[in-house]
Chains A and B, each alone.
Chain A
């Protein structure tokens, strides 16, 4: 293997993929399955992957005894205790990453030291930073992050021989990535906008993962068996009985996709002399579907919920990419087919590997992560200045994407504060209307001289995005000499599929967006920073104290300022 590879560090499983000779190769474990993201600390020994998972008898995540399952969810915490031993979550993650990397090196010659790594949509900046450090401890530099649903879609589209045509075909179309795996259900609504694959919204649940459903089936089988046998008392179980029953339940689940009923038989399940020690139950498909119905309904409900939130009907979805182990269940497949129809539903046969493959292809194609939505500064009055534009290429490892520093004026310093309000339109893409709804990202407030005239105090404002996709904003007042800064971790990104998206990020002329526009969402603070000295931007009552002539009716002063003057 040469160059950068893809690494899917999933909640349930972890996997490395790389592209060689036009084929994406996934390095699975010896059972041809991804490595479970499980680590077990036994004395000095660190057991990772399938052997660690085999020691688990529950679908719970986090720390279970000396076992840590899905350590990714622990990132952000300073330290955790595993069987009483204090451990750094980064080192736990690093243990899994190192194991997967060493296995890859063992299987394929190569260095495996630079990767494009998948992350969940909701992973914040701090977690991304810690994930990068954990990978660095394990000997891998993260060249770029890529969100899991985007990676899945890219992996799916890239498997087509006419990839570019597919991308063209899906331009402006809506797509749903439906990832129902062992641990979680993740739903992501995406759209292809001018060659950039962006996420519009996402939803998910931790309660309907495949492991949870397997556990429900297992418990149901036990209780129904006991009921059939007329046993009412609690019976203790053999040590490995739970795992064996889980395996049988999972196998039954698979076999019931072709059969009407199967026998579930687990010998020596109970530790008892009084009753039959075996579990023996005939499980029908209807029964199974009844057992999991609530969970399946919940999962399907998430789809409707997501689409309703986005005000999109299922018929608007051009492609539903279903991945993960659960989507092969006949009842789930049929429900998805009911919603999207067989033409628009694509159940990936490579559900276990498609996200990793997508990351591998992103690494191979050097596809860039781009900012999905403009980052705007609200300038007085009612105007948005796009400081960083959608489509701006996000920095790779070691890079820092800087914008130009803004020199601003304080138009109304009477309350002693200059307020910098950062916003982002709800609609992704570069083309945004002033009437579009906005989400407020954050506000920086700094002290200014409250006795100063309008436009007397100068303000400096800087924005930059680092390799962990964290936006750093800082502001400084030059008279009062006050400064403040903040970090924004929840930026939204898209994947540039064509490489044609402009990457300049240059500032747009302020004049072009100068016209006052209606604001549909509530603004709690009245912004008082501007880029240009214009009297029309100063509140009327304040301006009147400095320039009464401005309000001479012959000069036709703006109506809103005349009204403000009355205060």
Chain B
């Protein structure tokens, strides 16, 4: 997977899961090594500050205007809650948190009106989940943590996800939790696909709320120390994450949760790990990109060469057929030459034989003619006859020779 794709996926994730915007913007993996390093160290040093950084989040015109006018800091927990659920406040500055912590005397939140307002604005319990994440971040302020936990518990219990098992899982003060995550998920698992009040189609807000309730339950246990981080991840993997779309599935979610749930030491290690991980990822991605480029280049070259080979093959076949036809022609020519040679030999032998026979026949005739002339008295008639016949025959042969 290319870095771009990775980036894209992360962005999609940001869009789909609003609660992770600030984290993903802060820990967005980048193909740039230094960039990823930077993000890793930032994640390690100032998580909360990072969460406040919103410059990378898409900002509307109104929000820009609001930012220009300095935001009023909350003076009480109630105010903070109102702001948290009503505006886009997502963090609690440390000094304010400390002041809240000191002022808290009662660990139960009794202002039901505020709770009702909060619930109205947060049907999906998304903000509730974020609040839980935030209070875990303020573990060093136990009073504030306790109070906000109580707020979260009451919000969940009062929400539309009002299954009995939820009440068992989040018991009111003085009661013991008697449910486990599996039962909770099973009950949700059954209900996730159940139609909402509007009709046959499941209500997506309710489904989201149930997921958030389950997530809060798991996080609750993690925070209480009843669940290891590994088990927490496994639980999420087997539950919420399994219901996510492929594009929603990303390690960033885990990283996000990890970053808000781990203490400073662990963050350091995790940051180093992430740093190493991003380095490795970058390297691998670069290598992958290089390999893909090489592969494309190779494929291109291969196709070019294959086409070239095909062309050459065709040429070879043409040449082969030409060679074959030439060979046949050569064979035919050779055969013709052989036959012609035999015919010429035959003609020559015939001619030679004729001439030889004529000479062989006429030589004794001439010898006899000579003998006839040598007789006393010379046998002129015989000599004339023999010479005449011999000459006739030789003339015939000469004529034949000239003709041929």
Contact = CB atoms under 8 A, between A and B. Distances in A.
Given A30-B353, A32-B349, A32-B354, A263 B342 contact: no
B215 interface: no
B361 interface: yes
Nearest to B381: A263
B78 interface: no
B361 A32 contact: no
Interface in A246-271: 247, 251, 255, 259, 262-263, 265-268
Nearest to A266: B368
A32 B350 contact: yes
B385 to A, nearest CB: 4
Interface residues of A, number: 25
B187 to A, nearest CB: 96
Interface in B340-394: 340, 342-343, 345-346, 349-350, 352-354, 356-357, 360-361, 364-365, 368, 371-372, 375, 379, 381-382, 385-386, 389
A280 B353 contact: no
A282 B385 CA distance: 10
A265 B380 CA distance: 12
A247 B363 CA distance: 13
Contacts of A251: 361, 365, 389
B342 A20 contact: yes
Contact of A31 (B346, B360, B381): B360
Nearest to A23: B343
B397 to A, nearest CB: 12
B361 A267 contact: no
Contacts of B343: 20-21, 23, 25
Contact of B342 (A21, A30, A32, A262): A21
Contacts of A440: none
B319 interface: no
A267 B372 contact: yes
Contact of A263 (B352, B361, B364, B382): B382
A231 B345 CA distance: 53
Q: Chain B binding site: helix, strand, loop or mixed by DSSP?
A: helix
Nearest to A28: B353
B385 A263 contact: yes
A518 B352 CA distance: 64
Contacts of A33: 353, 357
Interface in B78-111: none
A348 B379 CA distance: 39
Contact of A20 (B339, B353, B372, B385): B339
B90 to A, nearest CB: 105
A225 B340 CA distance: 53
Contacts of A255: 389
A144 B375 CA distance: 58
Nearest to B353: A32
Contacts of A32: 349-350, 352-354, 356-357
Contacts of A107: 349
Nearest to B375: A278
A107 B349 CA distance: 10
Contacts of A168: none
A265 B368 contact: yes
Interface in A1-59: 20-21, 23, 25, 28, 30-33
A280 B379 contact: yes
Interface string A53-86: 0000000000000000000000000000000000
Contacts of A31: 353, 356-357, 360
Contact of B379 (A23, A108, A244, A265): A265
A112 to B, nearest CB: 14
A262 B389 contact: yes
B42 to A, nearest CB: 97
Contacts of A247: 364
Interface string A412-440: 00000000000000000000000000000
Nearest to B356: A31
B91 to A, nearest CB: 107
B358 to A, nearest CB: 10
A389 to B, nearest CB: 40
Contact of A28 (B345, B349, B361, B372): B349
Contacts of B379: 265, 278, 280
Nearest to A26: B346
Interface in B201-236: none
Contacts of A28: 349, 353
Interface of B: 336, 339-340, 342-343, 345-346, 349-350, 352-354, 356-357, 360-361, 364-365, 368, 371-372, 375, 379, 381-382, 385-386, 389
Given A21-B339, A267-B371, 4 more contacts: A23-B343, A28-B349, A32-B352, A265-B372
Interface of A: 20-21, 23, 25, 28, 30-33, 107-108, 244, 247, 251, 255, 259, 262-263, 265-268, 278, 280, 282
